[in-house]
Each structure stands twice: as structure tokens, then as C-alpha cells.
Structure 1
Amino acid sequence: MTTSSTEAAGAKPVLSGFAVSERTAHLRAETALFMRDHVLSLVSHDLRGPLNAIHSWAYVLERKLDANDPNSQRAVTGIRSGVDQQVKLLETIIDATRAGTKSLALAYTTFPLHPLLDETVAEVRSGLARARGVEVAVESQLTTEQASGDRERLAAALWVMLMFGVEASTEGAAVTLAARADATRWYATVTFKPSAAALDDPVLPHLLETFARKQAREPREAKRIAWVFALCKRVAEAHGGSFEQSDMQESETATLALHVPLSATTAA
């Protein structure tokens, strides 16, 4: 994505040819940070399984080979050494990079839910939704309900959900945020009809990175979330809640759902 510098101090950042607020620029950066950590976590996890298997099979192979054959023993030693080097790289580069953001600190406060929705929707509408000609509708059953948690983090999760819906929608389409609460939890659900053309068209304004939009359309292995929703998942789980993503089929209704206790007590 092309990022242009502002021409004067205090001017709004310009991304993909349209101006965005400082808050939107901040949320975009937060989304990218959580996505980076999510990808690093997947790489670390998915590489350790095969490396452990190679290490174990190297010992099996060593017992089968002629102990007096120096070439065979040198080959096995090379295999184990290579595995050890890869594990060290995971620990010193990937795990160390994630160390600073592995734990998600929450600033707890009690706040009304309805204004949180209104503010987040207004931010999305005034930014990418307006530039793309996409409607953002709200179907809320909330009245005076309050929640205890990190208001800023929860707003960021809602923003990502709505923003992706806008990114994936064609001009004139609608993205809907439905919200309700019961005695213990509140529920926020975003629905939209994804379009590959809307996600991929380089002429259209975009806020999410190209690779993130492309990866979100790929089949999900073991029902993992798309990388771009890493912030949503981390924030929900840090509050003792959950985030769910449905499969995305062209022009079929897709769903993103955030479920969070009204009184969060679980820290990341």
C-alpha cells in the first residue's frame, strides 16, 4: 500500500489516495501489529512439530546405521545440528520479537455499550465506508447496558470487524452491525457479502494491507481465523470472551462475531 506524507503539520494522514483520521491511522497500525504477532506465533508453532519429528527420527536413524561408518554418523550429526539451529532461530528471533506484545494489558473501566458502538460506527462511516460508497447499518438492542473491560481495546476489535466488512463489500452494498446483551454477556455480530473484486481491486481505496486481504480469502486450515482478525481474537479472549469467523464465499453472507462477558475478569 502506498502511504503519502502529510504536507503540513496536523494534516490528516493520506492512505490509498484518501484522508483518514489519526484514530483510523492508529487502529490500522494496531491491526498490523497484532497480525504480525499472530503470524509469528503460527510460524513458531507450526515449525516446531516437524522439527521435533526430524530430531526424533534422527535418533532412530542413528541406531540403525553402522556406528563405525563415519559418513553416516556425520550425516546424522548434521541433521540434529540443523534442527537445533532452527529451534534456536525460533527462540531468538520469532519468540523474542513477540515477547513484548505476548501479554495483552487491559485498562479496566465501566462504560455504556451503546455509545461505544455509535463512536466506532461513525469512525468507519467517515473513513473507508464513505470513500467506498458502502453503507454501515446498526441493528442494536442495547439501551443502558454497561460493560466492564478495556473500552479502547474492545472498540478496536469492533473497528477491525467493520472495516474488513467494508473492504470486502462492493459499492452500494451494506455492512450490518447487530448488537445485543443478556444477563451476563454482550454480543456484536458483523454481517456482509464478500466480493473478491472489492478486496483485490487496486484502484479502490484500501486500509488493510494487500497480503492481509488476500490471505483472508484463502481456505482456513483447521478453522483458524484469518490473520487480519488477530486483534479481535486476542481482545475477546483477554476479556474471557470469544471471536468467531464464518467461511467466506463469494456473494454469500459472511459473519464475524464477538462475544464478551459484561464483567470481564480474565486477564491476558
Structure 2
Amino acid sequence: QQWREHWQDRHAFERVQASGEAFLMPNITSADLDNMARDAEHRRLLGELGTRSLMSAPISIGGELIGSIMLASSRPDRVYATEDLALAQELSRRAALAIQAARSYNQALAATRARDELLSVVAHDLRNPLNTIAMAGSFALELLQGAEHQAARRQLDIIDRTVEHMNRLIQDLLDASRVQAGQLVLERAPTKPESVIREAMDMLQPLATHAGVRLEVECSPELPAVTVDRQRMVQVLSNLVGNALKFTPEGGRIAIGVTLHAGALRFTVSDTGKGIPADQLPLIFGRFYQARADRRGLGLGLSIAKGIVEAHGGEIWAESTVGSGSTFGIDLPVR
């Protein structure tokens, strides 16, 4: 707006500038300088600069003129020609792209901030009624004792599991937002790897038993401690094993191991499931990715796991063969 107000069509030169067309003045005369000058003082300065050749190219975005690039030469042996004007036009085109990219980036940042604020409010507003439902269901379970209430208790168990699932979805949304914003808070402390695996297995063993899948753990108590956020690493391992349980058929096996590898502590989760197609492997850690055979959840689990591992300075990776199974690995630096 300031640029448009400045280039009011008070002089012929300014009218050309404001028209949004490129122009070239290879040899500037005294009369040209007179036309360019706004007043006597400006004319004096133009004369002292000794401008002999001039060209200008507009900067436009979506048909809107937002500025211009102007180049001037005061050297007698440097007179601008049409090829120089083409270069100026290319510079102005690239400047327009850069400005547009900066605008888009700022708009994206504003949209991200608005989304995160909305998520925070929605998560808070959703959790309050969910907690009320959970407490009411728990109280009802205590009241409904005896064989005659088995059918009602089964329905209350469904409500309880659904509330737990909804809480996990809400937490996934919040964690994904924090990871993307670089606001994931870690409470690091020296931690033995076997304690992380043991806690994750305590939560997942009942699910594996129900699915008819065998869980195997190999972790030496002699392995060194690693400085991590214990609960976040339990979250990562639980996510990886939980994913493996989804795709490992009854009678299958999931192996969890920890070894030292090239100066890092390597956690691995291997399964005998369906495997991941090669064309999908590069995509699995992306936000909202879901396997073609599974549409449960939001597809944020692996993306969150990647963010947590990278926040620890580590690396997460995956290997897979269709029909044979997959291996997910986490390499954490030992400090």
C-alpha cells in the first residue's frame, strides 16, 4: 500500500513505473532527469548520481503490482540493453516467488497456531465429559454385582473401553501438535532399557494373550543406562508393539530386543505379520498415515513415535518383507 501511494502518477516516469510494465532507458538525457525529478532538490541529486542508463521490472503476484526492481548505471561504458532487461525481469519474477512463499509460510504458521489453540480447547472440553462418563461407569460397575447383572456389566465394560479409546485419540492429537511445533517436553533421566521394556510389556501382554500372539523379550541387564524420558519411551515401544499386534495373525510372534550397535542402544520390535509393501515404507512415519488394511485410529502413532525418538537425538527406522513380517528399530545415543 505504501508503495502504491508513493508512486502516484504525478510525472511521466512514475506513470510508467505504476503501470506494471517493464521499461528500459538505455541513454538517459537531461530531459529524462527533469521528468524523473519530484522537485529541484531531487533533480540536483539525480544529476550528482550521474545516471546514464536505467531499467525497471515490476514485481507482481496474482496480477497485483506490489513493487518493482530498478537498476541504474552511471558508467559511460555500461549501457543497458534488451538482454539486461530480460535479466531484470527474471530477477523480479524470482522476487515475486520469494515474497509469495514468505506470505504462504506466514499464513501456514498462523493456521497452525489457530489449529493448536483449537485442539487444546477441544481436548479440554472433550475430556471433561469423558471423565464424567468414565467415573459414572466405574460407579455403576461397583453397584451392579451378582450374576443377574452380567449383561449390564458387559455394556458398561464397552463404555469404559470406548472412553479409554477416545482419550487415547485426544492425546494423540495433542502429542502430534506438540511434536510438529517442537514443543514436546522431555523429562530425561538415566534409565535401564530393561525397565522400559518391562513396563511396556506389562501393559501389552494381556492384549497379546487375547490375540493369541506370543511376545518374546531379549534384553540383557548388563546393558548401559540411557538418558531418556522413561514414559515417552514406554509410549514409543507400546505404539510399535501395538501396531505389530494389529497385523500379526493368531499364532504369530513378536520379538522385542535391545542390543548395543555402533555406539547406540538399539531397540527392535520384529513381528511375523503381513509385512509392509515397499512403496509404503517411505510413508509410514508421516502424519495421518494408515495401512491399507487398517483404518482404526488417526494414523498418528508412528509419526508421534518418530518425533519422540528424534527429540532424544535418536533415529527410528523400519524394514519389511511382504508375507514375512516387519522390524522397527530405534537407535538412541548412549551418553
Aligned residue number for residue 32 of structure 1: 172
Q: 1:125 to 1:244 in 2, by over 3 A?
A: same
Aligned residue number for residue 330 of structure 2: 258
Offset of 1:142 from its aligned partner?
4.2
Aligned residue number for residue 151 of structure 1: 230
Corresponding position: 1:243 with 2:323: no
CA contact (8 A) 1:194 1:248 kept: no
Task: Return the structure number with greater relative CO, CA threshold 8 A, min gap 6.
Answer: 1
Which amino acid in 1 is paired with 2:138? A
Offset of 1:167 from its aligned partner?
1.2
Q: Distance in 2 between matches of 1:16 and 1:8?
A: 9
Offset of 1:180 from its aligned partner?
1.2
CA contact (8 A) 2:267 2:329 kept: yes
Offset of 1:15 from its aligned partner?
11
Superposition pairs for residues 187-266 of structure 1, below 5 Å?
187-195=266-274, 219-220=279-280, 222=282, 225=285, 226=289, 227=299, 228-247=301-320, 249=322, 251-263=323-335
SS at match of 2:250: coil
Aligned residue number for residue 198 of structure 2: 118
Could you tell me the TM-score, scaled by structure 1's length? 0.54
Which of 137, 140, 145 aligns to 1:7? It is: 137
- Residues 221-247 of structure 1 deviation map (CA, whole Å, 9 limit, x = unaligned): 745525431122111100110000224
CA contact (8 A) 2:223 2:259 kept: no
Q: 1:15 to 1:245 in 2, by over 3 A?
A: farther
Aligned residue number for residue 3 of structure 2: none
Q: Distance in 1 between matches of 2:140 and 2:195?
A: 27
Offset of 1:29 from its aligned partner?
3.9
Offset of 1:181 from its aligned partner?
2.4
CA contact (8 A) 1:141 1:181 kept: no
CA contact (8 A) 1:34 1:231 kept: no
Q: Distance in 1 between matches of 2:334 and 2:257?
A: 16
Q: 1:19 to 1:129 in 2, by over 3 A?
A: farther
CA contact (8 A) 1:233 1:243 kept: yes
CA contact (8 A) 2:200 2:237 kept: yes
Aligned residue number for residue 135 of structure 1: 214
Could you tell me the TM-score, scaled by structure 2's length? 0.44
CA contact (8 A) 2:179 2:307 kept: no
Q: 1:248 to 1:102 in 2, by over 3 A?
A: farther
Q: Distance in 2 between matches of 1:99 and 1:36?
A: 5
Offset of 1:19 from its aligned partner?
7.2
Which of 172, 175, 187 aligns to 1:107? It is: 187
CA contact (8 A) 1:179 1:188 kept: yes
Superposition pairs for residues 58-97 of structure 1, below 5 Å?
none
Which amino acid in 1 is paired with 2:329? A
SS at match of 1:260: strand
Offset of 1:262 from its aligned partner?
2.2
Which amino acid in 1 is paired with 2:254? V
Q: Distance in 2 between matches of 1:181 and 1:151?
A: 19
Corresponding position: 1:160 with 2:235: no
Q: Distance in 2 between matches of 1:121 and 1:147?
A: 19
Gaps of 5+ in 2: 1-129, 142-154, 290-298
SS at match of 1:246: strand
